Amino acid sequence: MAGSLKEIISMVQEELANFHLTDDSEITPKYLKELANKIRNTLLSEEIKNKGANAMYYQRVCCLEVICHRMGCTIDGIFVPSSSVIWEVKLPPLVMKAGDKAILYVGTDQFKTNWVKMSLAGWMSIEGNIWSSTLASYTQVGDTIWIKNAPTSDLKYICAILLLYDPVNACDWNDETSQYPVPDIYKLTMLMKQDILSTHGLPKDKQHDATDAGAPQIRQDNE
């Protein structure tokens, strides 16, 4: 079955065309894209609450840029660097309800070793632990992750498998080719159509309307 966002939108548009909605001008691709994400998040929230997220909701994102921040301070308008740096990666918005399960993997595109996730305290003191001092590790701070012991000092990008709040926020997303991350495309399109029909309604068929306004007028003999 179709799996890209463009294909999903086209399917919903084609099915809705049979209903001849009176205000279909409001049902734009942008509207359908937002609706797909809203329904996906509803389904995902229910799964997280009941049994955990299906793996099909996750996305592989391998274009996350690693930024090297030289630590230091500014004195009289002049930046004075220290010997310390922080290797930082900014993440797109994640599904916060998933907690730690919002991040399934962080590492290189070889997918051989999942870097160790640590608390901030553990990450800061990693050098003093003989068991983990050389492990590639990271800690999450807000919407970023900080890295230590990366496998190479000139690392430019990393890969991650993430549970994104909005799939299109992935840096490598393409509406036409990227697989929309949801387990059941058919269920998604069905719920999208139901939502639109319940919100916008169907046009009334005056020819078969049983109300007084639509009923044929009967002539009285005494008129």
97 in a domain, yes or no?
yes
Instruction: Please tell me the total count of domains within the chain.
Output: 2
**Same domain for 103 and 125?**
yes
**Same domain for 133 and 73?**
yes
Confidence at residue 218, expressed as pLDDT on a 0 to 100 scale:
40
Confidence at residue 208, expressed as pLDDT on a 0 to 100 scale:
41
**Same domain for 13 and 73?**
no
Burial code (b: 16+ CB inside 10 Å, e: under 16) for 70-86 equals eeeeeeeeeeeeeeeee
Q: What is the mean pLDDT of each run of 10 residues along the chain (223 residues)?
A: 86 84 74 96 93 93 91 81 83 94 94 92 83 86 92 89 96 95 95 89 48 45 46
**Same domain for 63 and 148?**
yes
- What is the span of the domain harbouring residue 76? 59-162
Residue type, 120: L
68 CB-near residues (< 8 Å, 6+ apart) = 85, 86, 87, 88
**Same domain for 180 and 197?**
yes
Residue type, 97: K
Reading the block at residue 157, the tokens are 């990008």
**Same domain for 144 and 185?**
no
Q: What is the pTM of this model?
A: 0.80
Sole residue written with tokens 């955990």: 52
Alpha-helical (H) ranges within the chain are 5-17, 29-50, 120-124, 185-200
Confidence at residue 221, expressed as pLDDT on a 0 to 100 scale:
47
Confidence at residue 202, expressed as pLDDT on a 0 to 100 scale:
59
Confidence at residue 212, expressed as pLDDT on a 0 to 100 scale:
47
